[in-house]
Chain A
């Protein structure tokens, strides 16, 4: 089955630690996205990538970093510089360049800072 996988499902981090969230897709999509979801707020874009070896900051990129070495993979690192990292993180992908194309989401990773 084609789809998007995220791991782990739950992640606990101590203050001052960097953690990396995994996102893999086998949909052959060019574009991939990371969103953050907090209670009472809409999904907010952290980073996105439209092609391998290229990515751009979204609306709330501070304290996060990404890489896109393979088409299938777009890992997100939450660094110690992110002051309030506790949230639900969602990865999405879509075919790039096609107008009005829908994004498909993974199951999410819930990150909690202890």
Chain B
């Protein structure tokens, strides 16, 4: 069964304290892995798509990496405005749909 697991569930960081969020997955053929940011009461905001092991993408203080079993979202020198829930999702080679399978998210709090 296709599955996505994110850890930790919650993470508290001091401003400037770098860390990583983990997304491990088991899918029958990966078409893409997606990272989203979600603020409370709002819809998810797209961050990155990764397609194959070894791929990396960066945006400001965020960097996403991908292996055959997991993805990491590295946050360098975070600021309070980076506080949000970060969602990971995968798209598998199952039929002809674009279905996404989501993890439960990591709730990040960055305090001054």
Contacts and interface: CB of A to CB of B under 8 A. Distances in A.
Given A105-B43, A107-B42, 9 more contacts: A43-B89, A44-B102, A100-B32, A101-B98, A102-B46, A102-B49, A105-B36, A106-B43, A110-B41
Interface of A: 4, 6, 31, 40-45, 48, 50, 56, 58, 88, 90, 94, 96, 99-108, 110
22 contacts: A31-B98, A42-B102, A42-B103, A42-B104, A43-B89, A44-B102, A48-B97, A48-B99, A50-B98, A88-B41, A90-B44, A96-B98, A99-B31, A100-B51, A101-B98, A102-B34, A103-B34, A103-B100, A105-B36, A106-B43, A107-B42, A107-B43
Question: Mostly helix, strand, loop or mixed at chain B's interface?
Answer: strand
Contacts of A4: 43
B78 interface: no
A50 B97 CA distance: 8
Which 8 interchain pairs have the tightest Cβ spacing?
A100-B32, A42-B102, A105-B43, A43-B102, A105-B44, A42-B104, A108-B43, A107-B43
Interface residues of B, number: 25
Contacts of A48: 97-99
B104 A40 contact: yes
A58 B51 CA distance: 24
B71 interface: no
